[in-house]
Homo-oligomer: A and B are copies of this chain.
Amino acid sequence: MNRDIPGFSLQRMPVYLNYLRSLPDDDAYTYVSSGAIAQALGLGEVLVRKDLAYTGCAGRPKVGYPRAELIAALEQFLCIHDHKGAVLVGAGGLGSALLGYGGFANYGIELVCAFDNDPHKVGGIVGGKPVLSVDSLEAGCMEYGVQLAIIAVPAASAQGIAERLIRAGIRAILNFAPVQITAGEDVKVINIDVAANLAILASML
């Protein structure tokens, strides 16, 4: 549905939504101009207008964009109201932190459960979510009917886990293991390597 928009514009949509939601609920912010948004987010103002045009929410010359409508348009654009489930694989340090993180709800996403291979963790609850055996990964994914997964396992197991997830019906993966996960065209993958990002910053000093 959102496939006809430039990738970089799509990436900025949650940023706009987040910013607009953070504004005080005040008459002064009933309308927001592209210039104000651009300044707050460090972007060009023409870019902001072009991005917002994709949401279908029209701004008014001399006034700006109606904030409430714009938020609603962004929410619809990001399909936030069709509540989606996600599973997490790997309940280690990072995985446990993600299980306890409340921020997914802002985008209509709920982490339904985690899978781990540590018998001390399996059967327990972390961040309010059940931790299941990684043996039941396929069964669990299909039972919950989820299409989204987060991988937070060691690098060596990540690609294998990804392949199992895909066979179990997962169609999009957020990968924190420090390897590039490769998958077919029909599966979306975002790789986030925390240490690599810090290394990039360090090399720019």
Contacts and interface: CB of A to CB of B under 8 A. Distances in A.
Interface string A122-156: 00000100000000000000000001101000010
Copies of this chain, complex-wide, total 2
Interface string A149-179: 0100001000000000000000111100011
Contacts of A41: 180, 182
Interface stretch (A44-52, A95-103, A113-121): A95-103
B107 A199 contact: yes
A189 to B, nearest CB: 8
A69 interface: no
Contacts of A6: none
A14 B199 contact: yes
9 contacts: A10-B203, A19-B180, A42-B180, A93-B101, A109-B198, A172-B202, A174-B198, A188-B201, A190-B200
